[in-house]
């Protein structure tokens, strides 16, 4: 199997944040998580080594909590990208296979591209393959300098480039596939004779050519995939790019999205054909939405949501960690959290499941069985079960289980004080 080395030690000064750069999120998922998932999604990599530095403990906690096949390696002090990769040498002493090297701040890279990249490396019998891209404006990127036969001669950082080299539009995308057994010796021979005084990872190209290794460059098809995050503006742009990709996939799969520009859908959400998403919806986290559903406008799904076929979640409805069976409607101004809701249920406007105990910090479940009707402005205080067919009158607060086909009402009796207004005017 292949190993991956993911660079995540940088501070990200331009983010102007207390959060490590690679732990900034898109749809509540860390940038680093997108990269690790893309690598794991190739099914070719069995171990990931994440290089950590700035706020290393926080990044390591994230990795440990989410990825069993990944471990963190500390880079301290941080002396450049070449130095960062060299940190894994003690862990891969005996390893002779391929390694993929990536940056932890490129959340748009896909498993499909990485798989194609690795296959290109193998089919060309390369010892080192660099991913490249063609940019009309290559400013600030390292330039790909090719030999006359198309093989890769070197990568020159812009600060070290001549005017002729700066005119080259092919740039280094920052992803490498290497024959680890052949190139690991390079990391003890890198020099710091450059404008930054650092050990550049790009210098392994020159080293490889000097040592008669086969060095190639694979040109990326979609430049968006290597979009790196260095600022909050970059983060916002990546959010849009990822969302555009996800929305297009759903449109292609038969989902009706009325206004793609105001609809936000996480990449981990599945949606069945003929479902309609109305404008200004935000669908976050991992969810599964069936066919022929109607979502929104102004609906918010927060993750852990399963909507079976023909469910309606209407305007200003918020849903979290909830399963809803077919032909159930929650049309207006409702919060459904930590719930199981049956089929044929109607949930009136203003209903909430009160699932959180502020004294204990515990969240409890609300269970609503088939054919239940919940009146408007009702509060269901979890843990509570509403059995099949029960009706809850409007303005009721339900604090205990209701039997099947019962009617529950907790509102105060209506009092009419005649002429009260006239007497107090």
The catalytic residues are 332
Count the alpha carbons within 13 Å of 78 in the hemisphere toward its beta carbon: 14
Q: C-alpha dihedral over 88, 90, 94, 99, to 10 degrees?
A: 0
In the structure encoding, which two tokens stand for residue 128, read together?
A: 């080192």
Strands (E), 75-169: 98-103, 128-134, 143-146, 152-156
Within 10 A of 126 (CB to CB), how many other CB atoms are there? Answer: 23
Q: Which of 348, 331, 328 is nearest to 398 (CA)?
A: 348
| DSSP helix/strand/coil, 76 | coil
Q: Is 88 exposed, middle or buried (0-12, 13-18, 19+ CB in 10 A)?
A: buried
Distance CA 188, CA 83 (A): 9
Q: Cα(98)–Cα(123) distance, rounded to whole angstroms?
A: 13
Three-point CA angle 93, 94, 96, nearest 5°: 110
């Amino acid at each position: 199997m292949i190993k991956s080395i993911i660079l995540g030690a940088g501070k990200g000064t331009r983010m102007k944040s207390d959060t490590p750069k690679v732990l900034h999120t898109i749809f509540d998922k860390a940038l680093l998580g997108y990269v690790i998932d893309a690598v794991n999604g190739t099914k070719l990599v069995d171990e990931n080594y994440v290089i950590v530095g700035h706020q290393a403990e926080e990044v390591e906690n994230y990795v440990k909590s989410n990825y069993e096949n990944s471990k963190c390696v500390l880079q301290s002090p941080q002396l450049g990208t070449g130095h960062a990769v060299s940190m894994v040498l003690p862990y891969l002493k005996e390893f002779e296979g391929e390694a993929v090297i990536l940056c932890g701040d490129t959340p748009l890279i896909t498993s499909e591209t990485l798989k194609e990249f690795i296959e290109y490396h193998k089919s060309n019998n390369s010892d080192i393959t660099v991913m490249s891209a063609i940019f009309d404006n290559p400013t600030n990127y390292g330039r790909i300098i090719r030999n006359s036969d198309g093989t890769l001669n070197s990568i020159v950082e812009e600060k070290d480039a001549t005017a002729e080299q700066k005119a080259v539009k092919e740039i280094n995308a920052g992803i490498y596939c290497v024959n680890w057994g052949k190139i690991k010796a390079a990391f003890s021979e890198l020099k710091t004779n450059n404008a930054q005084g650092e050990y550049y990872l790009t210098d392994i190209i020159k080293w490889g050519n000097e040592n008669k290794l086969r060095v190639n460059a694979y040109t990326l098809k979609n430049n968006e995939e290597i979009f790196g995050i260095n600022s909050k503006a970059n983060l916002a742009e990546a959010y849009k790019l990822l969302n555009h990709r996800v929305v297009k996939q759903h449109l292609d799969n038969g989902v009706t999205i009325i206004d793609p520009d105001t609809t936000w859908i996480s990449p981990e959400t599945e949606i069945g054909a003929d479902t309609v998403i109305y404008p200004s919806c935000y669908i976050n986290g991992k969810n599964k939405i069936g066919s022929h559903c109607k979502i929104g406008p102004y609906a918010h799904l927060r993750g852990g949501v399963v909507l079976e076929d023909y469910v309606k979640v209407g305007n200003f409805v918020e849903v979290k960690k909830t399963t809803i069976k077919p032909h159930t409607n929650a049309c207006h101004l409702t919060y459904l959290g930590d719930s199981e809701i049956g089929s044929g249920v109607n949930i009136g406007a203003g209903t909430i499941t009160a699932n959180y105990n502020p004294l204990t910090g515990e969240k409890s479940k609300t269970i609503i069985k088939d054919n239940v009707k919940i009146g408007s402005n009702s509060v269901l205080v979890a843990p509570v079960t509403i059995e099949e067919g029960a009706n809850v009158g409007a303005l009721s607060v339900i604090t205990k289980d209701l039997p099947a086909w019962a009617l529950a009402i907790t509102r105060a009796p209506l009092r009419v004080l005649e002429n009260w207004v006239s007497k107090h005017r």
